[in-house]
């Protein structure tokens, strides 16, 4: 059934890819983004003008913390479903910019939940994060391993949004699914993330710092797989669910570096450093709940996914 779907963070990495897919499926799309300069806003503009060139949508340049601006959008459009992707992301940035997380993640999410209640929205799919697990060491990490001991302000706000969502679900019967993404990567990705920075450094002729003496392993999830999961969560619209979306196994960070070296034909100079405080050597998602509730599984290998990312990067930044 065709729906009117509001995507917050619609010019962001995940939001724009999601818009492209939902547009192909024929849904009416309302995109909201404040195009902030946490990273190059030009990339956000390009996602709209290039990635979404053939995707009909209505775009609002508004801030999640601006309730009257949001209210006007809900009054103008009868929104069926919200894919809430807009947030202040990043762990390190929260050290110097704590209030950005309060305004965008806490207040922004509260505004979205309250407007969903006031305007009879039929379901919400919310972006959460593997960071809610703090330094829990169980592997693979299951949803029940969340000990509520966040180790960054970003994680604290993401976990708080899950709690706020549950209260709104409980009080007002709004179906809400919180999806805990594990390191998402791919074309049109985020320049603040390691795989993207490695490319920048490679082309700048600079070396890279490899933490954990090159022994760290992470769960890297390809963007198309994440989008599949969000789309399924919208279709199934479970009354309440919290689940991991990850590749479902750990990949050595060194494999990622070697793949990038192979695809760029550049060999990095590497400085091996110890793990940073709070880092864990290995982490990956147990995705059996997403399989059970959504019929979802990640399909894309790191080899394939990074190949697509590197091809996009070379094209976008004219590195061929
Ligand atoms: N990319 C990942 O690896 C990852 C992992 C876990 C969770 N997440 C979550 O997924 C969601 C999407 O992440 P992303 O990687 O696409 O990040 P992104 O930064 O590319 O996208 C977020 C978008 O939200 C917008 N935004 C931020 N604050 C806003 C505000 N106050 N008002 C309006 N718009 C605002 C930004 O301009 C940006 O375009 C976020 O909620 C993030 O926390 C991402």
Q: Does 140 sit behind a cis peptide bond, omega within 30 degrees of 0 on the bond before it?
A: yes
> Domain limits at 28?
4-184+223-246+284-299
- How much is the pLDDT for 76? 98
Does residue 313 sit within a domain? Answer: no
On whether residue 78 sits in a domain, the answer given is yes
Mutate to test the pocket of ligand 1, among 15, 43, 87 (most ligand atoms within 8 A of CB): 87
User: Could you give the number of structural domains in the chain?
Assistant: 1
**Closest ligand 1 atom, CA of 16?**
16
CA 228/CA 264 separation, integer angstroms: 28
Rounded distance between C-alpha atoms, residue 92 and residue 84, angstroms = 22
Q: How many CB atoms lie within 10 A of CB 304?
A: 12
16 in a structural domain: yes
d(CA 106, CA 161): 6
Verify whether ligand 1 is closer than 6 Å to residue 196 (CB atom): no
- 154 catalytic? Reply is yes
Q: Whose CA is nearest to atom 37 of ligand 1?
A: 35
Decide if 211 is inside a domain.
Answer: no
Query: Does the residue 64 lie in any domain?
Result: yes
Residue among 291, 285, 308 at smallest CA distance from 224: 308
Pocket of ligand 1 contains residue 63 by CB under 6 Å: yes
* CA-closest residue to ligand 1 atom 12: 85
Q: What is the helix (H) or strand (E) element at residue 234, kind and residue range?
A: helix 223-236
Q: What is the dihedral of CA 100, 105, 108, 111, to 10 degrees?
A: -150
The helix or strand, by DSSP H or E, that contains position 241, with its residue range, turns out to be: strand 240-245
**Closest CA to ligand 1's atom 8:** 129
In a domain, 279, yes or no: no
Pairing status of strand 217-218 against strand 221-222: unpaired
Which one-letter DSSP state was computed for residue 142?
A: P
Q: Which residue has the tokens 């050290």?
A: 95
Report yes or no on 208 lying in a domain: no
Going residue by residue through the chain, which has 320 residues, state the pLDDT in tens, using 9 for 90 and above.
Answer: 899 999 999 999 999 999 999 999 999 999 999 999 999 999 999 999 999 999 999 999 999 999 999 999 999 999 999 999 999 998 889 889 999 999 999 999 999 999 999 999 999 999 999 999 988 888 899 999 998 999 899 999 999 999 999 999 999 999 999 999 999 999 999 999 999 999 999 899 899 999 888 888 989 999 999 999 999 999 999 999 999 999 999 999 999 999 999 999 999 899 999 987 666 778 899 999 999 999 999 999 999 999 999 999 999 999 97
First to last CA, the chain: 43
Q: Please, are residues 306 and 263 in contact by the beta-carbon 8 Å criterion?
A: yes
Q: Whose CA is nearest to atom 42 of ligand 1?
A: 89
The pLDDT of residue 316: 97
The pLDDT of residue 304 is 97
User: Residue 87: phi, psi to the nearest 5?
Assistant: -170, 160
Q: Is beta strand 81-84 parallel, antiparallel or unpaired with respect to 4-8?
A: parallel
In a domain, 320, yes or no: no
Question: Which of 8, 9, 31, 164 has most ligand 1 atoms within 8 Å of CB, for mutation?
Answer: 9
Tell me 77's DSSP state.
S
Q: Is any ligand 1 atom within 6 A of the Cβ of residue 105? A: no
Catalytically annotated residue among 93, 133, 154, 195: 154
Instruction: Dump the DSSP string for 84-128.
Output: E------STHHHH-HHHHIIIIIIHHHHHHHHHHHTT--EEEEEE
129 close to ligand 1 (CB < 6 Angstrom): yes
Question: CATH number of the domain that 47 lies in?
Answer: 3.40.50.720
Place of tokens 């302000």: 153
**pLDDT at site 278:** 61
């Amino acid at each position: 059934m065709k729906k009117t779907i509001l995507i917050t963070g619609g010019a962001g990495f995940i939001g724009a890819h999601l818009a492209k897919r939902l547009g192909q499926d024929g849904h009416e799309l309302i995109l909201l983004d404040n195009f902030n300069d946490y990273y190059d806003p030009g990339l956000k503009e390009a996602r709209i003008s290039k990635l979404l060139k053939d995707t009909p949508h209505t775009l609002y340049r508004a801030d999640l913390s601006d309730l009257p601006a949001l209210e006007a959008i809900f009054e103008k459009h009868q929104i069926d479903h919200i894919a809430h992707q807009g947030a202040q992301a990043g762990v390190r940035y929260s050290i110097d910019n704590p209030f950005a997380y309060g305004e965008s993640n806490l207040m922004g999410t509260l505004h979205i939940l309250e407007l969903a209640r006031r305007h009879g929205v039929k379901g919400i799919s919310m972006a959460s994060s593997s960071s809610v697990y703090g330094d829990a060491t169980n592997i693979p990490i299951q949803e029940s391993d969340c000990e509520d001991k966040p180790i960054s302000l970003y994680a604290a706000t993401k976990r708080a949004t899950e709690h706020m969502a549950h209260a709104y679900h409980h009080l007002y019967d709004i179906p809400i699914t919180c999806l805990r993404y594990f390191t998402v990567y791919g074309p049109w990705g985020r320049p603040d993330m390691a795989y993207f920075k490695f490319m920048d450094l490679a082309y700048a002729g600079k070396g890279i710092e490899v933490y954990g003496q090159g022994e760290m392993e992470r769960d890297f999830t390809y963007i198309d797989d994440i989008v599949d999961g969000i789309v399924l969560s919208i279709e199934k619209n479970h009354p309440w669910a919290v689940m991991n979306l990850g590749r479902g196994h750990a990949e050595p960070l060194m494999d990622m570096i070697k793949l990038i070296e192979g695809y760029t034909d550049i060999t990095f100079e590497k400085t091996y450093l110890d793990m940073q405080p709070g880092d864990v050597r290995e982490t990956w998602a147990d995705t059996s709940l997403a399989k059970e509730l959504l019929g979802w599984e990640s399909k894309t290998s790191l080899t394939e996914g990074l190949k697509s990312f590197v091809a996009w990067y070379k094209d976008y930044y004219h590195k061929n």
